[in-house]
Amino acid sequence: MDQLEQVAQQFRRFGEDECRHRSPLYHILSLTVADDPQLLAPALHGRSGQPLPNLMLAAVHQLLLEQNADPVRAPHPLAQFYGSCTQAARDPAQAPPAFRDFVLQHVDALRAVISRRLVQTNEVRRSAYLFPALCFAASLFGERPLHLIEIGTSAGLNLLWDRYGYRAGAELRYGDPQAPLVIDTEFRGATPALLGLPPPRVAHRLGVDLNIIDVGQPSEVAWLHALIWPEHAQRRSMLDQALAIRAAHALELIIGDGFARGAELAAAVPAGALPCLYHTHVANQASKQTLAIFQNKLADLGRHRDLVHVHNNIRPDLHLTAYRDGRELDLPLARVDGHGHWVEWLAPETR
C-alpha cells in the first residue's frame, strides 16, 4: 500500500469513526478528501506521527477563518458551510465542491500550515474527568501536595483542572464554585464520592510540549480555534473562557518531548511533593517503543520514590499507574468520552 492510500485510509477512519455523529461537515469532507488524490496531497506535508486528517482540516479552517474576518476580502463560498463562520450553515452534503475549490486555490498556504503546525486541541472539557482522576490519585498519598507534570500541554489549559467549575446534571456540581467557567459533563452510573471533598493542594504546575502555544500571541490562539470543529460553538466559548482564566495564572511551560523527559522531570520534583504525570489524547502520536521506554523509566523511578501516572491512549480507558513505597498499583479509573462529554467511573471509592 503506497503512502497516498495509507493517508486516504486515515481520512476514511477519521470521518466514519470520529466525525459521523459529532461533525456532519467533517464527516463529509473527510470522505471527500480520501477519494481525491489532489486533496490528499497537502496532507502529506504533516510531520511524522501527526493525525493528518485533524491537521489538514484545521489548516483549512484557519485559512477560512482568516479570510472570513477580513473586512476587505469577500468570503469564499466554503464559509457558508462552517458554523464558525456563519450562524446559518448550509447542508454539509453540498460542501464538497466548494471545499475542493478552496483547497486547490490555497495549496501552498495549506502546505505551509500543515508542515509547521501540530494538532494541539487543548480540549478543556477533558478536565471534567481529570478532576476526579487526579483527586483519586492524590487520595492514595494522604495530604501531600501535587507537582503536576502534563505531557502534551499545548497552552496549559488542562493544568488548571482545579480552577474550573463542573456541572453533571441538575444535582452534581464540583470543582471551583467561584469559577467563571462551568463545564458540563455527564456521569454514567455511580459518581465518585471524592467529588464532594476539597481538591488536593497543587504545589507546582509544569507543562511540556513539542510546541508551546503562547496565549499572548493572537496567531497562536487562532490555531487553537481552528482546531475546534466548525459546528462546536460551545467548545469555542469554553476555550475563550479558559484562556481568560489561563491569563491569570503563571505556569511553567517548557519545550520538549514529554515522553523522553517525563521520568527526568519527575525525579527533579522536591521530596515533599508528589510527582503527578498525566496526558490526554497525545500518546497516539508516539511510537509503541517510545511509550514502552517511558513507562519503564517511570517504573524504575517508582522503586525509589512515590509518583503517579494518569493516562489514556496507552491502554483502554483512563488509567492510573501509581508507585507507593516501591510497590506498583495499576488500575482503570474511568471510561470517558474523548472530548469529556461523559464519564463512567470505574475506580473504587478508597484504596
* Domain coordinates in residue numbering, the chain: 3-116, 124-345
**Which residue matches cell numbers 496531497?**
41
* 266: region left, alpha or beta (phi > 0 left; psi from -120 to 50 alpha): alpha
Query: What would the mean pLDDT of 39-68 be, rounded to a whole number?
Result: 95
Check if the beta carbon of residue 80 is closer than 8 Å to that of residue 89: yes
Task: Establish how many alpha carbons lie within 13 A of residue 238's alpha carbon, considering only the half-sphere containing its beta carbon.
Answer: 24
CA separation for the pair 212, 153 (Å, rounded): 7
CATH architecture for the domain at 124-345:
3-Layer(aba) Sandwich (3.40)
Query: What would the mean pLDDT of 252-266 be, rounded to a whole number?
Result: 97
Residue 127's pLDDT is 97
Round the CA-based radius of gyration of the chain to a whole number and report it. Answer: 21
pLDDT over 70 at 255, yes or no: yes
CA separation for the pair 198, 246 (Å, rounded): 21
Q: How far is CA 294 from CA 86, 88, 151, 261, 308, in A?
A: 45, 47, 12, 8, 13
Q: How far is CA 210 from CA 216, 306, 330, in A?
A: 18, 27, 28
Q: Is 43 helix (H, G, I), strand (E, B) or coil?
A: helix
What does the mean pLDDT of the chain come to?
94
pLDDT over 80 at 1, yes or no: no
Split at pLDDT 50, 70, 90, the class of 134 is: very high
Q: Indicate if the alpha-carbon torsion angle 13, 150, 145, 186 is positive or negative.
A: negative
pLDDT over 90 at 349, yes or no: no
Residue 350's pLDDT is 56
* 282 CB-contact burial (10 Å; exposed 0-12 / middle 13-18 / buried 19+): buried
Using the 8-state DSSP alphabet, how is residue 146 labeled?
A: E
Q: How far is CA 246 from CA 73, 158, 243, 281, 320, in A?
A: 33, 10, 5, 21, 26
Split at pLDDT 50, 70, 90, the class of 247 is: very high
pLDDT over 90 at 285, yes or no: no
Check if the beta carbon of residue 273 is closer than 8 Å to that of residue 200: no
